[in-house]
Structure 1
Amino acid sequence: MKKIIAITLISALFSCQQTTAPEDNSLAEARQAIAASNAIYFESFAKGDSSIFIDRYAEDACIMAPGTPALCGKDAPLTFFRKAYHDIGLRNGKFITTDVFGDGKEYVTEIGRWQSFDADGKLFDDGKFLVLWKKTAKGWKMFRDSFSSNRNQ
């Protein structure tokens, strides 16, 4: 009887380990996709190519920039890109991801810091961000993008 209980407990232990491994792999996949997306995000501004920027976002995304109402829906990324490029003069930037968490199945959350540079390569703004990423048929896309400046403007 003791052998049956021991075998049952060992089997349960191994089955628990097997069910958690895919979650870890899913989160690792999400982290990798986020890093790849972030690596080319600011290329859109350096090249003046809104299509690169737009492709980072889900079609039902919301961009929640400081001091302005949220921009939501399919046209939100283009509207934001135009404002940032033409009105603000954003030409490059950098994301520093500090954490990505979640189950990696449908949504994950990324937190970190960002920096914005003008056409002369001068840092003109920096802050923090919180992004909810959504797994879509086209891969991991930004679903809710919220950020704020560390500077008084």
Structure 2
Amino acid sequence: MKQKTLTTAIICLCLFLTYKSSIAQANNPGLQQIKSSIQKINTLYYELFAKSDASIINLYTDDAILLAPNMLPINGKKALKKDFNDTFVAGKVKGVKFQTANIYGDGKAFVTEEGTWQVFDQSGKVIDDGKYLKLWKLTKAGWKIFRDSFNSNHKI
């Protein structure tokens, strides 16, 4: 019962945020510029991942947390570096592609990105896909990923 209530609450929240985002974006044209910046960073993410480039962790804040399904949170750059390195060494994944659907927030310190993702194997075949929410933080170096949460569209 708790799972059903939680799922219903999440769906309601997503619908509310989608509605609110359309109003917020109309009232804040700066969000469109932020969305464009984030999309460029997501393209860079894909390129760095494809090259197994450890500098991918520089797209995250120092205190970032990756909230992946079925595992404990990955806290901070040191843990992120290990996680990415382990993924690169395993050699099963060639790339992760993000498609931004919406950006929420006032754009002053934080924004939330909502979208879909795809994971590709070494031959370029899609091996998983799903949805995500990223909380972005404005830093002196620009927008960085502060919280990263995702899950698959497929049952385990």
- TM-score after normalising by structure 1: 0.78
Map of 1:55 onto structure 2: 58
Gaps of at least 5 residues in structure 1 are 1-19
Map of 1:118 onto structure 2: 121
- TM-score after normalising by structure 2: 0.77
State the Cα distance separating 1:25 from its structure 2 match: 4.7
The 4+ residue runs of structure 1 with deviation greater than 4 A are none
Amino acid at match of 1:48: S
- Determine which of 41, 48, 67 is the counterpart of 1:44: 48
- Determine which of 123, 130, 144 is the counterpart of 1:141: 144
Whole-Å separation in 2 of the counterparts to 1:56 and 1:35: 12
Which has more radius of gyration? Answer: 1
- Determine which of 118, 123, 133 is the counterpart of 1:130: 133
Whole-Å separation in 1 of the counterparts to 2:42 and 2:82: 19
Counting matched residue pairs gives 131
**Aligned-CA RMSD value:** 1.8
Map of 1:14 onto structure 2: none
Are residues 1:108 and 2:111 paired? yes
Whole-Å separation in 2 of the counterparts to 1:30 and 1:138: 14
Provide, for residues 107-141 of structure 1, a one-character-per-residue CA deviation record: whole Å limited to 9, x for no partner. Answer: 00000110000111111111110000000111000
**Secondary structure of 2:33 counterpart:** helix
Gaps of at least 5 residues in structure 2 are 1-23
Whole-Å separation in 1 of the counterparts to 2:136 and 2:117: 17
Percent same amino acid among aligned pairs?
A: 43
State the Cα distance separating 1:75 from its structure 2 match: 1.2
Given that residues 131 and 146 in structure 1 are in contact (C-alpha distance below 8 angstroms), is that contact kept between their aligned partners in structure 2? yes
Whole-Å separation in 2 of the counterparts to 1:150 and 1:66: 12
Provide, for residues 59-108 of structure 1, a one-character-per-residue CA deviation record: whole Å limited to 9, x for no partner. Answer: 11000111110011121321221232223621113211110010000000
